[in-house]
Chain A
């Protein structure tokens, strides 16, 4: 590595990780909220099975998850084949593939606080709102979201930092391509492999700072509300 290159430190893995975590978190909140609601409304066998599937990524080694996601997103997998027909390329080793994989990986951390919130939600609040003339969407916005504010925030922060810190899945699915899929955790690993401890240190310290700040904000906000 030349002297001039080392003075301009490459922060792009951090930016990429932040982008990946932000997009994944927004999409997960949009998908996870109705899913969590559906999971708690009735306790049928099918819904318990879906709950187990949602929680599965927590139990699996990330490489196992990453391996099957790579197969699914690659040119011979169902999702990858679909993408190839549509855009000419599969999802393997792309940023889109990373987003999809991260959503699966972080889904349990988003759904868990939301189901807990929905379980705690007193149905009388919804019934009262309905009898005061509020329809289903109105009730979602005026009753459910305010009551679940803390749970939504918890889900968002946990989903964000979990995605931010993932390694195994992004390695398998993303392939560590600089500027496209080389996220923070992969870059740190590469720096350590190359014995560039200073660079590894900078990125690692940034990761700790980010995650600590996010968690601190979460606890400051949710514990003031209770």
Chain B
């Protein structure tokens, strides 16, 4: 558990945030630019001075201004990937990667150097100078460099915001597999709502230096009183397990707590493989009765938990399928004609082509 309370005044900026983040899984700090996300991350790493700070990781006290305790950054066992990582001028990929690796005792190292380099597809680049690499490759080096230093907690400050969408998806996927393989807790800062929802197990919503909400990501993403669910691109992520693949039709059947989903997919997975599926609110429509002969692959019995009017004649509806939250965005007229209100039983229809697992 990461327990923190930070108060920091810097120029016109004022941060006053406290909370508890679990020491496992992926936590995302989400908020608009200028909300203080980066500062919060730097406070966790111990890079900001002059704050009223109290932070403890598990039973280790990292910083307590009142008791004069301050563990310096290099002894916190924290890794950080900056938005714009820096490398010593002229250093090669190998030198960059070995910097943190060399500074760990062999017993503390989590990865074999060569194997990790291969997994990150950097074997051919080891002798190149870092400044000759593309932005995406540099970010990959920065990520692996942080991992090779065997951190107990990995902090990521918008690490993929400067690189193209395709590569971003790949790197996010690398992070996801890494998280599963090493059980490495991460705190990820982003101002992209989609990235936040896709990646987060836990969400911290930061607005103007204050914690607006903190909790499990699926609950917060589907909470219609919070800004995430009210966005036009609102979505929830559903944790599923692979069940079967139909190669003729190119669809896969995935099971989640409360039902099953058909998604378009071009290849089968291991049975039981964990997949996170992002379902956008705009791809979910609602019906009072079970539709017959529809092109929609997924018809899921659901219950309305809450709904909220949005300014653009739309209504966002928070649904529960069993225990799993889902969002639907419908027109105000549809909401009225379906007489939607909390507790209503409906059928949520999700197009299979709208869902793709990575």
Q: Which residues of A contact B (CB under 8 A)?
A: 122, 124-125, 127-135, 138, 142-143, 146-147
Of the residues A131, A134, A143, contact of B79 by C-beta under 8 Å? A131
Q: Which residues of B contact A (CB under 8 A)?
A: 45, 47, 72-75, 78-80, 82, 84-86, 88-89, 99-100, 103-104, 145-146, 149, 151
A interface SS class: helix
17 other A-B residue contacts (CB within 8 Å) besides A130-B74, A131-B74, A132-B103: A124-B84, A124-B86, A125-B86, A127-B73, A127-B80, A128-B82, A128-B86, A129-B74, A130-B72, A130-B73, A131-B149, A132-B149, A133-B74, A133-B103, A135-B74, A135-B75, A143-B88
The docked-state distance in angstroms from the alpha carbon of A129 to that of B85 is: 11
Q: B89 touching A131 by the CB < 8 A rule?
A: no
Closest Cβ–Cβ distance, residue B331 to chain A (whole Å): 48
Known: A143-B88, A147-B88, A147-B89. A129 touches B72 (CB 8 A): no
Q: When A and B form their complex, which 4 residue pairs have the shortest distance between CB atoms, in order from nearest? A: A132-B100, A133-B103, A130-B73, A130-B74
The number of inter-chain residue pairs (CB within 8 angstroms) is 54
The docked-state distance in angstroms from the alpha carbon of A146 to that of B91 is: 11
Residues of chain A lying within 8 A (CB to CB) of residue B73? 127, 130-131
Closest Cβ–Cβ distance, residue B13 to chain A (whole Å): 18
Residues of chain A lying within 8 A (CB to CB) of residue B86? 122, 124-125, 128
Q: B72 touching A133 by the CB < 8 A rule?
A: no
Q: A131 touching B80 by the CB < 8 A rule?
A: yes
The docked-state distance in angstroms from the alpha carbon of A124 to that of B73 is: 13
Q: B78 touching A131 by the CB < 8 A rule?
A: yes
Residues of chain B lying within 8 A (CB to CB) of residue A132? 74, 79, 99-100, 103, 145-146, 149
Closest to A127 in B: B47
Residues of chain A lying within 8 A (CB to CB) of residue B104? 133
The docked-state distance in angstroms from the alpha carbon of A84 to that of B104 is: 51
Residues of chain A lying within 8 A (CB to CB) of residue B79? 131-132
Of the residues B78, B89, B99, B151, contact of A129 by C-beta under 8 Å? B99
Residues of chain A lying within 8 A (CB to CB) of residue B146? 131-132
The docked-state distance in angstroms from the alpha carbon of A37 to that of B151 is: 30
